[in-house]
Amino acid sequence: MICILLVAGHGTVLETQIKNDDTGLYGHLTGVPKALLPGIGGKKILDFWWETVNMRQLFTEVYLVTNADKYKHFERWATANDFPVENVVNDGSTTLEDQLGAVADLELVIRSRKLQDDIMVIAGDMLCADQNFDIAQVIRFFRSKPGELAIYYELEEGEKSSSRGIVEVCPDTHRITRFLEKPQEGLTASRLASVVFYCLRKNTLPCLSEFLSLQPQAQDRSFGQFWEWLINEKQLHVFGMKLPTGFQLIGQVGLSDYTKWLTHYSAKKQGNPAKPITCRSYARAGLMGNPSDGFHGKTIAMTISNFWAEVTLVESQILVLLPHPLNDPTEFGSLQDLFCISRKEGYLGGLRLLQATCKKFYQFCSKQGIALTKQNFTLKYDTNIPRQVVRISAIVSATLKCLMKFYNITDSDLPKPIRANFILNVETDELFITAGLQDRVVQVYEGLVYMDFSKQLMEERGYGEYVSIDMKNLPTFWLAYLSDPSDSGRIHSNVRQRWLSGEPLVVEAMKTFAELTDQARTALEEGDWTRLAQLMDQNFELRRSVYTDDCLGPGNLKMVQLARQFGSAVKLPGSGGAVVGLCLDQERLVEMRQAFQEAGCVFCTIIPYDPSASAASSQQEPHHD
């Protein structure tokens, strides 16, 4: 592949304003080409792009095309920066009136140097908010697609689409379906702005000459008009790749705009590295319908602030995953100590979850056409979620939140329904953990969530119907768990095989779970807590009939029996080792709490996590009775 840097524009507005500036701040920049003006961190704008593309393993040659008026400036720059002077191409223009136009400048280099290869073209006078994106990732994505590639970014607040080339991109294929050069307001809802950063296949290069023959005037030879013609009229396959950062082409902008964007981007660069990113995800309690989430059923679950997983990301020179001192032990007091810890906690801590999430995140972004910056970080995690309440998805969810913030990945890049699928795929594809979508959905949406995983929805769009339920005036739920956790895999047993084989008992049970969930949603919305308690008991009995007592385990059954002695509704909130209940008699609730504690169980009153509540509520400490 060959890279061509375009710096042939005549920046008359900016150059004139610098020349006439009476503040004395910019006098030293008089006559300096736009691409050689200071960029982020004081580095020349062109220096950044040359450092980015100066990679022999990626590009066989790099060319730079400029005009006759500024040729000597770039010749001197080339000598000082080890850029091959013979690769600086002079287009012969000296003024704005006799300029060739951006597309003609590109075609000049290709024709005069007889280039026959794929081409990457970049505007060398373009400010980039992030100085570390991975250009190799751009090339890999280009080569994975059967067509051309155009880079775009999401407009920042305050940027008008009428000042940019706007692309409409198919989210599934990443093909650009329409290109609009500086569209009028209301013509498109897209906020995705194309920049002068493209990849062209060698077989498409003749289109440049064809376009130029149709546009004899230099002002009509912009790349925006070229892509409009290539995409909208010729219907060529052009794909889009998003860079999660901002760009500003300083071509015909004035001094105030140049200094504004330079200050804005510099401030963002200075503000990001030092500030750690900390994200929490909360444990969940399945109130109804589980475990039918893995069987095209329906469930209701809520996040609880008693238990959380917290991940912290800090930018660093190399990528580091820090083990947790308790959950990822590497030192032991003795062989007996190792034996006791391993027998109780197992061998699988949280470090593998961080690693698997990072791997899957990079894979997802590469596939989705999102070029990540070459920034490294250190990740560490903490959690107070007992294994019995299931901590895995919470750690993965919190890690994903940190990565999205660090790399500026938006909700439109990774929508909530797809995010839940992502978390599940980390567990099932990378770690081979048997799991359903319920936990992942409620941890992404947060709060009290109704979930419909019907086969039709899952097959048609890949995710279910997820509806948030008002959490105001909820009754007091409680949670209890065994001090010795059980294994999720054993609890699920052979039910999946029986369901896949069409066993009537299992198939009908999953349908009934869905029906109970719909009734529970009505009870929650109407505040009918007595009915909700009845449905929770029915949920447990239905699960018991399918999974059998041997599969549920004596510990779980003991907790259920104990709760029922005090007239409380009770069911399993997840895989096993814990129970969730609803006791409407507050005096009996106090007595029940004491009974559970005397039985050696941990008992707590659930504190629902409502995402609409104040930020202070999310920092509440675990509440144990």
What CATH number should be reported for the domain holding residue 483?
3.30.230.120
Q: In the prediction, which pLDDT does 551 show?
A: 86
Active site residues: 439
Give ∠ CA 583-588-593 in degrees, rounded to 5: 85
Verify that 576 and 479 share a domain, yes or no. yes
Q: What angle (nearest 5°) sits at the alpha carbon of residue 396, between those of residues 392 and 399?
A: 140
222, 101 Cβ separation under 8 angstroms: yes
Structure token digits, residue 509: 């049970």
Let me know whether 527 and 544 are in one domain: yes
Residue 171 confidence (pLDDT) above 60: yes
Residue 390 CB: number of other CB atoms within 10 A?
Answer: 23
Residue 81 has pLDDT above 50, yes or no: yes
Half-sphere exposure of 263 (CA within 13 A, CB side): 6
Whether residues 406 and 476 fall in one domain: yes
Average pLDDT, the chain: 88
What pLDDT score was predicted for residue 299?
A: 97
Kind plus residue range of the DSSP H or E element containing 239: strand 238-242
Model confidence at 397: pLDDT above 60: yes
Give me the half-sphere count of Cα atoms (radius 13 Å) on the Cβ side of residue 177: 9
Residues in CB range of 135: below 8 A, 6 or more apart = 52, 53, 55, 58, 371
- 296 and 252 in a common domain: no
- Indicate whether 485 pLDDT > 60: no
Which residue did the predictor score with more confidence, 524 or 182?
524
pLDDT for 58-68, tens place per residue?
999 999 999 99
**Which DSSP symbol is given to 608?**
B
| 154 close to 192: Cβ distance less than 8 angstroms | yes
**Cα separation of 211 and 214, whole Å?**
5
621 is a domain residue = no
Residue 302 β-bridge partners: 285, 448
Q: How far apart are CA 302 and CA 449, in angstroms?
A: 6
Give the type of residue at 96. Answer: L
Higher pLDDT, 599 or 488: 599
* Structural domain that includes position 134: 2-269
Mean pLDDT confidence for 419-430: 94
Residue 598 lies in a domain: yes
Is residue 625 included in any domain, yes or no? no
Enter the tokens of residue 249: 């082409």
| Mean pLDDT across 352-367 | 94
Q: Write down the pLDDT at residue 388.
A: 61
User: To 10 degrees, the CA torsion angle through 482, 484, 487, 490?
Assistant: -80
CB atoms within 10 A of CB 75: 16
Point out the least confidently predicted range of 32-46, 163-177, 301-315, 402-416: 32-46
Residues 511 and 542 grouped into a single domain: yes
Residue 620 lies in a domain: no
Residue 547 lies in a domain: yes
- In this predicted structure, the answer to whether residue 538 has a pLDDT above a threshold of 80 is yes
3-state secondary structure of 132: coil
| pLDDT value at 463 more than 60 | yes
Give residue 264's pLDDT.
63
Phi–psi pair at 606, nearest 5 degrees: -70, 130
Q: Hey, what amino acid is at 407?
A: Y
- Please give the tally of structural domains in the chain: 2
Q: What is the CA radius of gyration of the chain?
A: 30
Q: Is the pLDDT of residue 621 over 80?
A: no
- pLDDT score for 20: 73
Q: Are residues 265 and 282 in the same domain?
A: no
Do 501 and 401 share a domain, yes or no? yes
* 222-261: burial string, b at 16+ Cβ within 10 Å, e else: bbbbbbbbbbeeeebebbbbbbbbbbbbbbebebeebeeb
Burial profile 490-506: b = 16 or more Cβ within 10 angstroms, e = fewer? ebbeebeebbeeeeeeb
pLDDT at 528 over 90: yes
- Are 264 and 284 within one domain? no
> CA 127, CA 195: separation in Å to the nearest integer?
11
Measured CA to CA, the distance from residue 65 to residue 87 in angstroms comes to 8
pLDDT at residue 372 greater than cutoff 60: yes
435 in a domain, yes or no?
A: yes
Instruction: Confirm if 176 and 150 have CB atoms less than 8 A apart.
Output: yes
Within its chain, how far is the Cα of 587 from the centroid?
47
Higher-pLDDT residue of 308 and 134 is 308
CA distance 186 to 190: 10
- Residue 363: per-residue pLDDT: 94
Distance CA 163, CA 159 (A): 8
- Whether 258 has a pLDDT exceeding 80, the answer reads no
Helix (H, G, I), strand (E, B) or coil at 37: coil
Q: Is the pLDDT of residue 624 over 50?
A: no
Q: Is the link from the previous residue into 84 a cis peptide, with omega within 30 of 0?
A: no
197 and 287 housed in the same domain: no
3-state secondary structure 356-422: HHHHHHHHHHHHHCECCECCEEEEEEEECCCHHHCCHHHHHHHHHHHHHHHCCCCCCCCCHHHHHHH
pLDDT digits (tens, 9 = 90+) for 596-616: 999 999 999 999 999 987 444
Q: What is the pLDDT of residue 575?
A: 66
Last residue of a domain, one of 247, 269, 291: 269
**Which among 245, 269, 293 is the end of a domain?**
269
CATH of the domain at 249: 3.90.550.10
Residue 525 lies in a domain: yes
Q: What is the 3-state secondary structure (H, E, C) of 150-214?
A: EEEEECCCCCCHHHCEEEEECCCCCEEEEEEECCCCCCCCCCEEEEEEEEECHHHCHHHHHHHHH
More confident of the two residues 561 and 160: 561
Single-letter residue type at 383: T
Q: Are residue 286 and residue 211 in the same domain, yes or no?
A: no
Q: Are residues 192 and 339 in the same domain?
A: no
Asked which of 219, 243, 269 is the last residue of a domain, the reply is 269
Q: For the chain, what's the residue count?
A: 625
> Do residues 101 and 13 both lie within one domain?
yes
Look at residue 616 and tell me if it is in a domain: no
